[in-house]
């Protein structure tokens, strides 16, 4: 069994690591100390398509596989658990049920803007 990442997964790791180091890590201690929602960081993540990594492209996501999604969460969690949990909750708790159980109308209305 081959446990190496695919080229797409390696690219995801590089991109998320770079974002985490430059955009998230400098604010991580402040986020924890003030217990404030990192709105600016989350907006940057949304703008860069990071909140819909494993959502199919037809619904506005990147269409990446589950391993790429986990890689993204891991890279964020290395520098800020709060930001990683926000991304995970958004993708798994908000988008996941819509993707799995939503009607096509619900997916277009709610999932597309979230991805």
Domain contains 103: yes
pLDDT band at 1 (very low <50, low <70, confident <90, very high): confident
Task: Give the count of domains, the chain.
Answer: 1
How many angstroms separate the first and last alpha carbons of the chain?
32
What is residue 93's predicted lDDT score, i.e. its pLDDT?
Answer: 96
Q: Could you tell me the CATH number of the domain that includes residue 47? A: 1.10.540.10
Q: What is the domain extent for residue 37?
A: 7-114
Domain contains 94: yes
The average confidence (pLDDT) of the chain is 96
| CB contact at 8 A, 98 and 107 | yes
Pairwise CA distance, residues 33 & 11, whole Å: 32
Domain contains 81: yes
Q: Tens digits of per-residue pLDDT, 51-79?
A: 999 999 999 999 999 999 999 999 999 99
| CB contact at 8 A, 77 and 69 | no
Domain contains 66: yes
Domain contains 2: no
Domain contains 1: no
What is residue 12's predicted lDDT score, i.e. its pLDDT?
Answer: 97
Q: Tens digits of per-residue pLDDT, 17-37?
A: 999 999 999 999 999 999 999
């Amino acid at each position: 069994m081959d446990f190496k990442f695919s080229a797409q997964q390696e690219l995801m790791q590089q991109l998320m690591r770079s974002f985490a180091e430059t955009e998230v890590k400098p604010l991580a201690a402040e986020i924890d100390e003030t217990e404030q929602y990192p709105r600016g960081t989350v907006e940057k993540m949304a703008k860069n398509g990071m909140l819909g990594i494993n959502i199919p492209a037809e619904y506005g996501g990147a269409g990446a596989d589950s391993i790429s999604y986990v890689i993204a969460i891991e890279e964020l969690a290395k520098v800020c658990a709060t930001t990683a949990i926000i991304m995970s909750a958004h993708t798994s708790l908000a988008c996941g049920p819509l993707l799995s159980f939503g009607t096509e109308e619900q997916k277009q209305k709610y999932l597309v803007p979230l991805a």
